């Protein structure tokens, strides 16, 4: 598998690379914090791919919007007949990740009951299938978690367990939003522009130095960057439009809009 690409040459990104290398040298639990779309899963995959577990599975789940009972079944598996709708045994994601890494995204959305279940697993590594009378089994899984929530505030409000926080936060990595690492924008733009051009079988357009200087301001304000396939009038008109108030997307999201010569728009969205 290709290693995840961490693009950029800003001081923040260089520091992030060093943190990834440090985290990859051990099996310690990692907590990745940052805004939605900042690239937390990219960082988690990068840690896994640089670790001694790289040959084993990387299994990811987004905890947001999943009820505790269903999330417990997804993680630990369930026995047939353990609840309504359990028509067969289910392995569970922890067993699927055996020897590798389990990535829990949106940890801050997890309910208190499930936090207690996760705490027991994080402390002992023992795996108990939902609805099973059999003994618990040991597992060999590295936990990497991520959140866009302020967990300190959540602990103060009683919405997140303090003991679980310190159990999972052995190594903390903060991923900066794109607006905080503006020097990365030209590198990201060039990468996504080339990828979009390849996908549409078109030559990659070039932007002048002046346009590279203007684009970061527009990218931060509007949340996306316009790239044209050769029509300067389209780019000029769109850049003027971007200077006006318009819809926003998540701060860490870079949307590359590729405009064909015929004026038909196609786009790709990439998390950075």
Q: For residues 57 and 50, what is the distance between their CA atoms, to the nearest angstrom?
A: 13
98 token code pair: 């055996």
Looking at residue 245, what is its pLDDT?
Answer: 42
Q: What is the pLDDT along the chain (272 residues), one digit of tens a residue?
A: 455 678 888 999 999 999 999 999 999 999 999 999 889 999 999 999 999 999 999 999 999 988 887 888 888 875 654 655 555 667 789 889 999 999 999 999 999 999 999 999 999 887 776 656 665 677 899 999 999 999 999 999 999 999 999 999 999 999 998 888 888 877 877 777 777 778 778 777 666 555 555 555 444 333 334 444 444 455 455 555 544 443 343 434 444 443 333 333 334 333 33
Looking at residue 133, what is its pLDDT?
Answer: 65
192 token code pair: 């996504």
- Collapsing DSSP to helix, strand or coil, 245 comes out as coil
Name the nearest CA neighbour of 16 among 174, 182, 172. 174
Sheet holding 224-228, edge to edge: 224-228, 253-259, 265-271
Report pTM. 0.74
Contact 252, 39 (CB under 8 A): yes
* Domains defined for the chain, CATH in brackets: 11-176 (3.40.50.300), 179-271 (no CATH)
Name the nearest CA neighbour of 228 among 269, 256, 188, 191. 256
Looking at residue 75, what is its pLDDT?
Answer: 86
Contact 219, 254 (CB under 8 A): yes
Q: For residues 181 and 184, what is the distance between their CA atoms, to the nearest angstrom?
A: 6
Looking at residue 85, what is its pLDDT?
Answer: 59
Q: Max CA-CA distance within the chain?
A: 70
Looking at residue 212, what is its pLDDT?
Answer: 56
Looking at residue 3, what is its pLDDT?
Answer: 57
Looking at residue 47, what is its pLDDT?
Answer: 97
């Amino acid at each position: 598998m290709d290693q995840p690409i961490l693009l950029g040459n800003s001081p923040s990104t260089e520091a992030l690379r060093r943190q990834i290398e440090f985290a990859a040298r051990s099996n310690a639990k990692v907590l990745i914090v940052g805004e939605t779309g900042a690239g937390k899963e990219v960082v988690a995959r990068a840690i896994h791919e640089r670790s001694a577990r790289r040959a084993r599975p990387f299994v990811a789940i987004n905890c947001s919007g999943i009820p505790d009972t269903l999330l417990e079944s997804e993680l630990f598996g369930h026995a047939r007949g353990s609840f309504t709708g359990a028509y067969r045994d289910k392995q569970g994601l922890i067993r699927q990740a055996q020897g590798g890494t389990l990535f829990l995204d949106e940890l801050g959305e997890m309910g208190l009951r499930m936090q207690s279940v996760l705490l027991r697993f994080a402390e002992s590594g023992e795996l108990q299938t939902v609805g099973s009378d059999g003994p618990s089994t040991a597992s060999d899984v590295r936990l990497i978690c991520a959140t866009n929530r302020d967990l300190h505030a959540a602990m103060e409000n009683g919405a997140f367990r303090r003991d679980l926080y310190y159990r999972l936060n052995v190594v903390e990595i903060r991923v900066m939003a794109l607006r905080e690492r503006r020097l990365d924008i030209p590198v990201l733009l060039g990468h996504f522009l080339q990828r979009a051009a390849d996908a549409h079988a078109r030559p990659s357009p070039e932007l002048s130095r002046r346009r590279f200087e203007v684009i970061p301001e527009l990218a931060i304000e509007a949340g996306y960057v316009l790239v044209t396939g050769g029509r300067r009038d389209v780019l000029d008109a769109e850049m003027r439009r971007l200077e006006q108030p318009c819809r926003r997307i998540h701060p860490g999201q870079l949307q590359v809009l590729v405009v064909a010569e015929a004026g038909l728009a196609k786009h790709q969205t990439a998390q950075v």
